[in-house]
C-alpha cells in the first residue's frame, strides 16, 4: 500500500491542509480537529483503500485505519505542518451534553496512559508465568526487578495521570507533577510518625497513601484551572516569571494536602462501596451487559470513560473481576463473527476485508472489524453481540479475573493467568464459537 498517497487522499477529503487544525492518532485511528466540518467528504473517505471507516467527533472526524495507522500518520507529518492558533480553537465537546462532556474529558485524560498500562499489565503477566512454571528463582534479583517493572508504573500512575490530565485541561503539567510529587514524597508520611494527622499551617492534615491514586490528581488538576487564572490575574507582569509558578505551586500543594487529598479518599471509599455492592453479587449481569454492548461502547469511545472505575478497582484489589472477562469475550466474539462471515460470503472484496480484519480482531485491535465489516453487515454485528453477551454471562457466572491490563486479544491472554484462567478460556471459546456459528449460518442461508 502507498501510505504517502493514502495520507494525501485523506487530507484532501477532510477539506485540505488549510482546513486542519490538528491531527493525532491512537492505535487504530487518525483524529482530525478541523476549522469547518462541513468540508469533510465522509463518503469519499470511506471509499479510500486502507480506510476501514469514518466516525464523527465534535469539530472533526476520526478516520479508522487499523494497525498501520502510524505509517499513515508519519507520512502526514512529512508532508504537512498543521498549526492551531488560539483564535481557531474551540472546545471539541462544546456541543455535547454535560454528562458526555465530562465522560469525554475523563477519557482524554486516561487514553495517553494506555501504552504504559499495557506494558505494566503484560510484564506482570510474564512474571506470573515465570512464577507458575518455576522458570526462575523468586529470590533472585532478576525476578524481583521484573516484578518492579510490572508494579512501578501502577504505583506511580499519579505522575502519568498528572501529565495527561493537565494537558487536557490546558494547565501547566509540570506544576501538576510537582504537586503530585509532594503527595507521593516518602518523607511526608514519615512526618506523622504513625499518627493519622499532622499539623500544617495550624490545620490538621489527614495522612493518606497517594500511591496508585487517581482521584486526588483529577481534583488537583480541576482546582489548578482556577488557581492559575487567579494568580495570573493578580500578579504584576514584571514579577510573573518567578511569582506565578511559586504561588500556583504553594497554593495548589497546600490545597491538595489540606482539602483535596483527604476529600479524594472519601470519594474513593464511596466508589468502593458502590462497586462492592455490585461486583461479585451481579457479575453475571455485568458480564452479560458489557459482553453484549462492548462493540457499541468501543464505537462511541465510551469504553474509555469507564477507565477510572476499572483502574480504581484494580488498584484496590490487585485484579479486575468485572471488565476483562466481557472484554475478551466481546473481542473474540467479534473475531469469530467476522471470520464466520468471511468463510460463508461469496463477495470476494468483503471476504478479503473480513479475513484481514477478523485476524486483527483476534489480536485485540477491533475497530477495523467493527467499521469495515460489523457496521456494514448487520448480521455480523448481531452475531458478535449475541456471542459476546453469552460469553460475558458465562464469565460472570464462573468468575473470571484479570491480573493485568492489556487489549483483549490472543497475545494478551497471559493477563488472565491465575486461578480462574480455565474459566476464562471456556468463556472466550463459547463466545467465539457462538458468534462464528451464527454469522456463518445466517450468511449461508441468505446465499441459499
The per-residue pLDDT for range 100-128, each reduced to its tens digit, is 667 667 777 877 887 888 888 888 888 88
- How confident is the model over 159-181, as pLDDT tens digits? 999 999 998 888 999 999 999 99
Q: In angstroms, rounded to a whole number, what is the distance separating the alpha carbons of residues 419 and 400?
A: 9
Burial 23-58 (b: 16+ CB within 10 A, else e): bebbbbbbbbbbeebeebebeebbebebbbbbbebb
Report how far apart, in Å, the C-alpha atoms of 281 and of each of 219, 274, 278 are. 31, 12, 6
- Alpha-helical (H) ranges within 261-402 are 261-278, 283-300, 307-317, 324-344, 348-362, 367-369, 378-398
Query: Going by C-beta distance under 8 Å and a sequence separation of 6 or more, which residues neighbour residue 289?
Result: 326, 389, 392
Catalytic residues: 26
Segment holding 159, helix H or strand E: helix 157-168
How many other CB atoms sit within 10 Å of the CB of residue 65? 26
Per-residue confidence band for 269, with pLDDT thresholds at 50, 70 and 90: confident
Per-residue confidence band for 231, with pLDDT thresholds at 50, 70 and 90: very high
pTM beyond cutoff 0.75: no
Which of 71, 9, 72 lies closest to 41, judged by CA? 9
Average pLDDT over residues 306-334: 86
Give percent above pLDDT 70 in the chain: 93
Is 54's pLDDT higher than 80? yes
Is 93's pLDDT higher than 90? no
pLDDT value at position 92? 44
Average pLDDT over residues 51-61: 82
Is 84's pLDDT higher than 60? no
Average pLDDT over residues 241-258: 95
CATH architecture of 3-92: 2-Layer Sandwich (3.30)
Burial of residue 13, with CB atoms counted within 10 A of its CB: 0-12 exposed, 13-18 middle, 19 or more buried: buried
Q: What is the mean pLDDT of the chain?
A: 86
Average pLDDT over residues 336-340: 97
DSSP track, 330-344:
HHHHHHHHHHHHHHH
- Which one is predicted more confidently, 152 or 365? 152
Per-residue confidence band for 339, with pLDDT thresholds at 50, 70 and 90: very high
pLDDT value at position 2? 87
Per-residue confidence band for 447, with pLDDT thresholds at 50, 70 and 90: low
Amino acid at each position: 500500500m502507498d501510505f504517502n498517497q493514502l495520507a494525501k487522499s485523506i487530507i484532501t477529503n477532510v477539506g485540505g491542509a488549510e482546513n486542519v487544525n490538528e491531527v493525532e492518532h491512537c492505535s487504530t485511528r487518525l483524529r482530525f480537529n478541523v476549522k469547518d466540518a462541513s468540508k469533510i467528504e465522509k463518503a469519499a473517505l470511506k471509499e479510500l483503500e486502507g480506510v476501514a471507516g469514518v466516525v464523527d467527533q465534535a469539530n472533526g472526524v476520526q478516520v479508522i485505519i487499523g494497525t498501520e495507522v502510524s505509517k499513515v500518520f508519519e507520512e502526514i507529518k512529512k508532508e504537512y505542518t498543521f498549526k492551531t492558533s488560539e483564535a481557531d480553537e474551540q472546545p471539541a465537546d462544546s456541543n455535547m451534553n454535560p454528562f458526555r462532556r465530562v465522560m469525554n474529558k475523563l477519557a482524554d485524560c486516561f487514553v495517553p496512559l494506555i501504552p504504559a498500562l499495557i506494558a505494566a499489565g503484560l510484564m506482570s503477566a510474564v512474571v506470573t508465568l515465570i512464577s507458575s512454571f518455576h522458570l526462575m528463582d523468586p529470590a533472585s534479583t532478576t525476578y524481583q526487578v521484573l516484578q518492579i517493572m510490572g508494579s512501578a508504573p501502577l504505583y506511580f500512575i499519579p505522575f502519568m495521570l498528572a501529565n495527561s490530565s493537565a494537558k487536557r485541561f490546558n494547565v501547566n503539567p509540570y506544576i501538576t507533577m510537582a504537586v503530585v510529587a509532594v503527595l507521593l514524597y516518602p518523607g511526608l508520611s514519615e512526618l506523622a510518625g504513625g499518627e493519622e494527622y499532622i499539623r500544617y499551617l495550624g490545620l490538621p492534615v489527614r495522612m493518606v497513601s497517594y500511591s496508585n491514586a487517581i482521584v486526588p490528581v483529577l481534583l488537583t488538576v480541576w482546582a489548578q484551572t482556577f488557581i492559575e487564572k487567579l494568580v495570573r490575574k493578580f500578579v504584576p507582569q514584571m514579577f510573573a516569571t518567578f511569582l506565578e509558578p511559586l504561588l500556583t505551586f504553594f497554593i495548589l500543594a497546600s490545597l491538595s494536602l489540606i482539602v483535596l487529598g483527604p476529600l479524594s479518599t472519601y470519594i474513593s471509599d464511596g466508589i468502593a462501596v458502590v462497586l462492592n455492592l455490585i461486583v461479585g453479587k451481579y457479575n453475571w449481569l455485568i458480564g452479560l451487559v458489557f459482553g453484549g454492548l462492548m462493540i457499541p461502547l468501543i464505537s462511541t469511545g465510551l469504553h474509555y470513560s469507564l477507565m477510572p472505575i476499572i483502574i480504581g478497582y484494580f488498584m484496590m484489589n490487585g485484579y479486575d473481576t468485572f471488565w476483562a472477562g466481557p472484554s475478551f469475550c466481546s473481542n473474540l466474539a467479534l473475531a469469530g463473527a467476522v471470520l464466520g462471515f468471511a468463510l460463508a460470503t461469496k463477495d470476494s472484496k468483503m471476504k478479503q476485508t473480513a479475513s484481514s480484519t477478523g485476524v486483527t480482531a483476534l489480536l485485540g485491535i477491533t475497530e477495523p472489524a467493527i467499521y469495515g465489516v460489523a457496521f456494514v453487515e448487520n448480521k455480523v454485528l448481531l452475531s458478535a453481540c449475541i456471542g459476546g453477551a453469552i460469553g460475558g454471562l458465562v464469565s460472570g457466572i464462573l468468575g473470571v479475573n484479570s491480573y493485568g491490563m492489556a487489549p483483549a486479544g490472543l497475545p494478551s491472554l497471559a493477563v488472565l493467568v491465575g486461578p480462574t484462567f480455565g474459566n476464562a478460556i471456556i468463556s472466550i471459546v463459547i463466545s467465539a464459537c457462538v458468534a462464528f456459528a451464527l454469522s456463518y449460518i445466517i450468511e449461508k442461508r441468505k446465499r441459499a
